[in-house]
Amino acid sequence: MHRLAVDTGVLDANTVYAYVLWCHDFAATSVVAEVDGEFAGFVTGYQRPADPSVLMVWQVAVDGRQRGRGIAAAMLNHLIDGFADSGVRAMHTTISPDNEASQRLFSSVAQRRGLTFTRRPLFAATDLGDGHEAEDLYVLAP
């Protein structure tokens, strides 16, 4: 997961330890995709402690050789399929204004599932430091 995050060239790569800890504690709200037994992508997500009806998606990444085959959408749909069992009603994520691929991914999933898809400002660039872009909050909800 760390290697793929680095390879995307656009995601903030967390430490290896952070990904291991994430999988240890948030496996139920995260997904790893495999193609022919090979690691092909991941989604990291968590239920917001202050509002467990929200599943917050942090990072989505698909190996460059496997893109355009519906893998990212399948991983998000897998998480949405589990909503009823876990009491989750909405998916939130943050996306930078220039990440068109991510905006298209989430809007496509929302449209196909009949979910509303809304955006509002969340973190300004000055909140995030290191020359990071702003991150808008996107909400997928019934």
Ligand X SMILES: CC(C)(COP(=O)(O)OP(=O)(O)OC[C@H]1O[C@@H](n2cnc3c(N)ncnc32)[C@H](O)[C@@H]1OP(=O)(O)O)[C@@H](O)C(=O)NCCC(=O)NCCS
Helix ranges restricted to H, the chain:
2-8, 16-26, 71-81, 83-86, 100-113, 125-128
Nearer to ligand X, 33 or 88 (CB): 33
Query: Phi and psi dihedrals of 54, rounded to 5?
Result: -110, 125
Nearer to ligand X, 77 or 86 (CB): 77
Token couple for 130: 């290191």
The count of residues in the chain is 142
**CB 108, min distance to ligand X, A:** 4
**CB 2, min distance to ligand X, A:** 14
The CA distance from 41 to 5, in Å, is 9
**CB 38, min distance to ligand X, A:** 14
Nearer to ligand X, 31 or 61 (CB): 61
Q: Tell me which residues touch ligand X (CB under 6 A).
A: 8, 10-11, 59-62, 67-73, 99-102, 104-105, 108
